[in-house]
Structure 1
């Protein structure tokens, strides 16, 4: 990986080590004014041979522009312990390293100060207060789980993430709301993308939902797309570009899966684990990328820098881990509406139809069928932890936004594995209120401590875990 702060030779003089004497067995290096001494002992020869190897590696590090590395420091120390010539080289290395570290420490702070001046200010003016009030209210109605963490974000980012989430929920309503006729889904997806990508009037989309019966929170939100878009249009170009790109990617992927028909057993199911992964990319992985674009802009990172690249590497894991946990938690609810996200092949491998997944007669085999999905979910949640820790610790609000749902998902996954309740409609897998409070306390207390967070994350998956607050 290319370091974010690449060094130029003039900033960190690689020539300093290029002039360093190489230790050669049987040969002594002299500097002006030195007294001749006895031939080096075998121990000295061996020490110099090791130093020569270390110098070669350090030269390579410097040539590559590495800003700081333990190998450079240890080489400088070793040089300082040998003889006057080596001390002068070591001093030059250490001074250059120190100067580089000062620049490296100052640069992110300066960038953050430049970006912070306008980046955290809410973009909601007086003319948008009523529409923004509707957006916040709708967010709480369609998702209490995410509404609170979103409110914790800095003002500008809160608005951007709220808009992104509401637009994703509108797409989700088109995909799987029971009241939306199959015949109009493709057209609605096309209209939604036209509104976001081409600036089309949202009124026809809204009018189409006026013809759909029902008055729940999801349908009301879809009918009020014009209000959401008025707030959306007031955002900066980076926010609008991110929302348009990833919401439309989601919508086009969802449209593929709306064409899945129930099979002979009456269930419309995914086919294989790769099919499940593809589905999760469209409905959740896209959200991970959307959030990443918004986070990178908010914290002032270079979009092509090391942190941004690493976040994108883990973005899909962060979002799909949460999605897979919900899929496992909602097995019986999905079956009740004739849908299964547990792949058919996993059920067939255990000798039963996916429609029998909740049948007590195949309970042991049902646990075996969902086991690969649990494994996949755990793998993705591990990536979600890495994603969360990549957020610089000084951006505590964004870290907490990521950590809180991750902690809940991790504990839910641990409770669900091997638990018959996941196949019982009236016995949902659910964290107790006391444990929820303890998990929140952990996140709030440890948000800036990476090592402690890793330790606590591992504990989430222990079979029995106290709901007491952390000690």
Structure 2
């Protein structure tokens, strides 16, 4: 999901010996949870089959099923969700991008259920913004800051519906600020972990004293990253002025992301250009992709569900499950594409266990001539990423068709991701002098085709397969 954040209700075969499975087993249920499931709690009175329509999970995917179950166990019935939307703070909110309307209203537009009525520039904020907040929303606003930090994700944010543009953009900027701290190699690992903990506590409002990030900000070589860290407290102020529902969702996803960043530093603490450290197992890889991307799918889906289509009947449990896989697929594409750069920083995200099974060690991947030996290991990971992106495309196509902007925001990363995988299948990814990526011309073509074909339902839904089958050369 980036933050964009897949959906194929077919049964998946068990992973083969050469396919990198997600080897973690389903953890035992807590007594209360087991009793809840046994009693059928959470099933819709009118749709008792709702918990039975998920695709059968392989052992490697059981953890994703558990994550999805834990997210929406009490949000299965549309009737229940509508009631909860009226009782809690998870009301439709509208987004704010500079001088672009309001954050939202508590009174939905009667002509379109779930759509907020614009009632003022700062409607939907829990209190009027102060000077620091206004500075974020104007010339140093969220969208402008996003454009400077990440031009690619900025495209996604710009196309999103206004009601979710601000919370998703804000969540991304907060996550990007913590990522900048994690990547500041000039600071000791222990100090970076400490700062990440302080940032997590500040985001969660554990303490209210402003956090001084001058130490890490001055170490940034990229001006946009330094500006982002300098704006951290302004972003926190904006977060605190959000409605409780979006604010809590942002805090939850940031807690998961920061835990992944701190764990990443612990795992690769001794890594460097002269020493390559690898993850140990596929379970560690699965855990990493969930913490930094799969959880974003959960956040994205929960926010969009409560904000944009709270009254639409969808299989929400399947939606959450596939959003997790969508996010993990996008992160896996990044890992597989950025392999040579990560290796030269001392990090190998492909597990040591899988490398050893093919007679390889992490250091072998520094040599581009090792590609032929490496490809039998590399291809199954490409297949796994493709399966997750296929889930992502199905996730996109089952969203309400009237939400054109939301579907395009999901479609673009899925289409660019599947095109990237096609290029990775034929190129030498170990060559650091030839970075494999989709050209700007192809990106523009994908954006144009997906927009122009949208009114043609069949052609649009087949677009993913057409991009996947497009020749790499």
TM over 0.5: yes
Q: Can you list the C-alpha shifts for 1:378-426, whole angstroms capped at 9, x where unaligned?
A: 1110111122122211011111111111111110111111312x22112
Residue 273 of structure 1 deviates from its aligned partner by: 2.0
Which one of 328, 344, 354 corresponds to residue 362 of structure 2?
354
1:288 is aligned to 2:276: no
- Counterpart of 2:267 in 1: which secondary structure? coil
Residue in structure 1 matching 2:350, options 328, 333, 342: 342
**2:186 alignment partner, SS class:** coil
Q: Choose which of 247, 256, 266 in structure 2 pairs with 1:249.
A: 256
Please say if 1:162 is aligned against 2:172.
no
Out of 425, 447, 452, which is 2:454 matched to?
A: 447
Distance in 1, matches of 2:410 and 2:120, equals 21
- Identify the residue that residue 135 of structure 2 maps to in structure 1: 130
CA-CA distance at 1:334 after TM superposition? 0.9
Q: Does structure 2 conserve the Cα–Cα contact (< 8 Å) formed by 1:123 and 1:156?
A: no
Is 1:414 aligned to 2:445, yes or no? no
1:97-108 equivalent positions in 2, closer than 5 A:
none
1:16 corresponds to which residue? none
Report if aligned partners of 1:121, 1:155 keep a CA contact under 8 Å in 2: no
**CA 282–436 in structure 1, closer or farther in 2 if over 3 Å, else same:** same
**Pairwise CA distance, 1:448:** 5.3
Query: Within 2, Cα distance between the matches of 1:120 and 1:440?
Result: 33
Paired position in structure 2 for 1:118: 117
Q: Identify the range of structure 1 (145-154 vs 257-266) with the bigger mean alpha-carbon deviation.
A: 257-266
Look up the match of 1:279. 288
Greater fraction helix: 1
Q: What's 1:84 paired with? A: none
* Equivalences for residues 82-231 of structure 1 within 5 A: 113-118=112-117, 123=122, 128-132=133-137, 133-134=139-140, 135-198=142-205, 200-201=207-208, 203-210=210-217, 212=219, 214-231=221-238
Matched, 1:433 2:432: no
- Largest Rg, 1 or 2: 1
In 2, the alpha carbon distance for the partners of 1:144 and 1:352 equals: 37
Contact 1:272/1:343 (<8 A) preserved:
yes
TM-score (norm 1): 0.70
SS at match of 1:178: coil
Separation in structure 1 between the aligned mates of residue 437 and residue 119 of structure 2, nearest angstrom? 36
Distance 2:352 2:460 in 1: 37
CA offset digits 1:157-210 (Å, max 9, x no partner): 111111011111122223233234312122222212211222523622434435
What is the Cα deviation at residue 449 of structure 1? 4.9
Residues in 2 aligned to 1:172 and 1:111: alpha-carbon distance in whole angstroms: 42
- Displacement after TM superposition at 1:112 (Å): 7.3
Rounded to whole Å, the distance in 1 between the matches of 2:221 and 2:377 is 36
Structure 1 residues 207 and 180, CA gap change in structure 2 (3 angstroms): same
- Alignment partner of 1:115: what SS? coil
Whole-angstrom CA distance in 2 between matches of 1:180 and 1:353 = 28
1:111/1:447 CA distance change after superposition, 3 Å: farther
- Residue 45 of structure 1 corresponds to none
**SS in structure 1 opposite 2:116?**
helix
Corresponding residue SS for 1:117: coil
Gapped runs of 5+ residues in structure 1? 1-63, 68-108, 467-471
Q: What is the distance in 2 between the residues matched to 1:358 and 1:367?
A: 14
Cα distance change on mapping 1:123 and 1:149 into 2, 3 Å = farther
The RMSD of aligned alpha carbons is 2.9
The alignment partner of 2:211 has SS state of helix
The 2-side partners of 1:120 and 1:426 are apart by 53
SS of the residue corresponding to residue 207 of structure 2 reads coil
Distance 1:395 1:235 in 2: 23
How many Å separate the matches in 2 of 1:359 and 1:311? Answer: 41
Q: Give the superposition deviation at 1:348.
A: 1.9
The structure 2 residue matched to 1:269, chosen from 275, 278, 289, is 278
